[in-house]
Structure 1
Amino acid sequence: MAEKRRVAIVGPAFPYKGGGAHHTTELAHRLAAAGHDVRIESWRAQYPGFLYPGRQTIDEPEGEPFPGTARDLDWRRPDGWWRAGRALRSADLVVLAVLSPVQVPAYLGILAGLRRGTPAVALCHNVLPHERKPYDRPLMKALLKRVDGVLVHSDEQAALARGLTGRPVTVAEMPAHFPTPAGGDGGGAVPVHEHLLFFGMIRPYKGLDVLLRALAASSAKATLTVAGEFWGGLDETRALVASLGLSDRVELRPGYVPAADVPGLFAAADALVLPYRTATASQNVWMAAEYGVPVIATRVGGFPDQVRDGVDGLLCDPDDAASLAAALDRFYAPGEPERLRAAVERVDHGPLWDAYTAALLGAARG
């Protein structure tokens, strides 16, 4: 029988929203289901508002909250960081979910409160942000030098981490953690809608501007829905849509998309488009698979491993509107949307989660 351990995960959980909170919660559920004694140390106030322009919390949980969740951490109370670390001294493993270098001061305070010999792993969703500030690298270097191990989600991220620390770095593919509401299609015969979807938080590295230029250049006359929170640039996006003559083809739906609205967005789409300039791992490919929707993505991060080019989706070059326009033309060739959709398969994430948790539990051992 596998060794049962006391695991503390420090990271966002409900009422915080988004991928980080979902991942923390699902990880806790998976570890607990494997027989480990798990707790989540979450936040009552995670970031100053000016550092996170979107909506930070939601009123109703999406998915099942983890019962062993405390919400005592507060960015305004550094004295509480050390106390939180001291309270975690009984853990066999402390997992620090790293979403942004802004978390590092609090995590350093927690590490200072841990007694020597309590293993800690930095679980890095991104080792460094896609859009970097001068302080990002020194902060992450300070953190990664003080933990016992690092877990990342791609070889590219592993290389970044190894450039910042001599601690062991482990790579594990990120399994699906977003809750999928009822209504997923899962493939089959579906009419071609001549409609595309761009979904999720909207930041410059995700390449929405590239998609808009590609849509204007493509011979396909598909429409597009853009659904998600804008981290700036909404007025500029509206102006770009107008300047490209796409006002009657592009619907902008700015703001957080509740889980209950997701099935309808995917049901109306022939494909999900991910025109990212850079990427690590994305849950959106797995989400599209749950709804039987092909993906058109760039060759960055984990997309080439998640999307089978010409089989269940298409790949194109990043930051290249002409390459993406050609992919849109290929996608809308006669019979192609139906053929690609028919090949989309739901993924059994149970084995992926088993491998992921095993990698995490072993990450501090090298």
Structure 2
Amino acid sequence: MVDVVFLATVLRLKGVTPAIFCHNVYPHSAPSLGRALSRLVIRQFKKVFVQSHNEYDLVKSFHPKANCTILNHPPYPSQRPRNSRHYKPSESNGPIKVLFFGFIREYKVIDTLHEAAKQVSDGEFHFHFVGESWSDSLADKIGSASNKHPNISREMSYVSTSFLQSIFDSCDVVVLPYPQSTGSGALATAKGMRVPVIISDCVDPGPEFTEGRDGIIFPAGDSTRLVSALREFRENISDFDQCWSAMDHDKEWGLAATRILDELEL
């Protein structure tokens, strides 16, 4: 962090206005010292880019003079046609296929989804956890659950790009139970793959999100409300056929780049 502060100082002395892009304002699970250092670094920049409204409010709380801009994570591109159905109709009214995708880490509070999985029947939902594990204890917990409950499965490994679309094609909905604001690559992938999402109210889905068409929002950390959201999705699954259709996926990255250039006055 010292080198970033030094670089920002040098640029200012040369008459250049430095800018910073924050994937997260604070490191995940950061102690007080780590948060203080993050604030120190961000205060060196007049122009700050963040990925959610919550992060915007956080930056303005300790750096009120910042020219802060929200840049929601653009969707990752896919080969799926813009208005195509995001999944094939479930055969014989089988269980809804629920996907958790991404690094298996403590801060994501995967326990909320894990607890929800134990509150529903095998015939209602199947939960698939996919991603490289950064937590042995979480990996063990999910592994133990998958051995005990037939509606829980796992792939605890890195997923290559070539297999990414098949994983999202095989699910009906992606769940993001995150308890804190973050820029989510999993959400960006779901948007690109045209898969609806069930997200906690800490996740910023972007201005194009419409609840009931693109997904459902539930209170972070509440597994009972998550179960209710899952059942609501199951009962109204056809309402999500055109999820993310309001986005022009091919233009989103270009629009984000244009906005950055405009904010930097380049």
Superposition TM-score tier, normalisation by shorter sequence: 0.7 to 0.9
User: Do the aligned residues in 1 keep the contact of 2:172 with 2:196 (CA within 8 Å)?
Assistant: yes
Q: Is 1:208 paired with 2:110?
A: yes
Q: 1:225 aligns with which of 111, 124, 128?
A: 128
Determine if the alignment matches structure 1 residue 255 to structure 2 residue 157.
yes
- Residue in 2 aligned with 1:108? 5
Structure 1 residues 123 and 239: alpha-carbon distance in aligned structure 2, compared to 1, 3 A threshold: closer
Unaligned stretches of 5+ residues in structure 1: 1-103
User: Which has the bigger relative contact order, CA under 8 A and spacing at least 6?
Assistant: 2
CA RMSD, aligned part only?
2.9
Per the TM alignment, residue 112 of structure 1 is displaced from its structure 2 partner at its CA by 4.8
Q: Which residue of 2 aligns with 1:130?
A: 28
What count of residue pairs does the alignment treat as equivalent? 258
Q: CA deviation at 1:129?
A: 2.5
Does 1:274 pair with 2:166? no
Identity %: 22
Query: Residue type of the partner of 1:347?
Result: M
CA distance in 1 between partners of 2:61 and 2:205 (Å): 23
Contact 2:74 2:256 in 1 (8 A): no
Q: CA deviation at 1:262?
A: 0.7
Q: Distance in 1 between matches of 2:77 and 2:259?
A: 23
CA distances 1:213-259 after superposition (whole Å, capped 9, x unpaired): 10111245321221112221x34443356358754222221122111
Once the two structures are superposed, residues 80-113 of structure 1 have per-residue CA deviations (whole angstroms, 9 ceiling, x without a partner) of xxxxxxxxxxxxxxxxxxxxxxxx2332243355
Q: Secondary structure at the match of 2:240?
A: helix
By how many angstroms is 1:271 displaced?
0.7
Structure-1-length-normalised TM-score: 0.62
In structure 1, C-alpha distance between the alignment counterparts of 2:47 and 2:206, rounded to whole Å: 27
Alignment partners' CA distance in 2, 1:236 and 1:350: 36
**Structure 1 CA distance for aligned equivalents of residues 154 and 212 of structure 2:** 29
Q: What is the CA–CA distance in structure 1 between the aligned matches of 2:126 and 2:81, rounded to whole Å?
A: 22
Tell which deviates more after alignment, 183-192 or 260-269: 183-192
Return closer, same or farther for 1:235/1:128 CA change in 2, 3 Å cut-off.
closer
Give the alignment of 1:295-310 within 5 angstroms.
295-303=197-205, 305=207, 307-310=209-212
Aligned twin of 1:88: none
Name which one, 1 or 2, has greater alpha-carbon Rg. 1
**TM-superposed deviation, 1:211:** 0.5
Q: How does 1:273-292 map to 2 (within 5 A)?
A: 273-292=175-194
Question: Deviation per CA, 1:132-183, whole angstroms, max 9, x where unpaired?
Answer: 2232222222212222321222232122212333542322232426343x46
Q: CA 1:302 to 1:221, structure 2 compared with 1: closer, same or farther past 3 Å?
A: same
Name the structure 2 match of 1:348. 248
How much does 1:350 deviate? 6.3
3-state SS of paired residue (1:252): strand
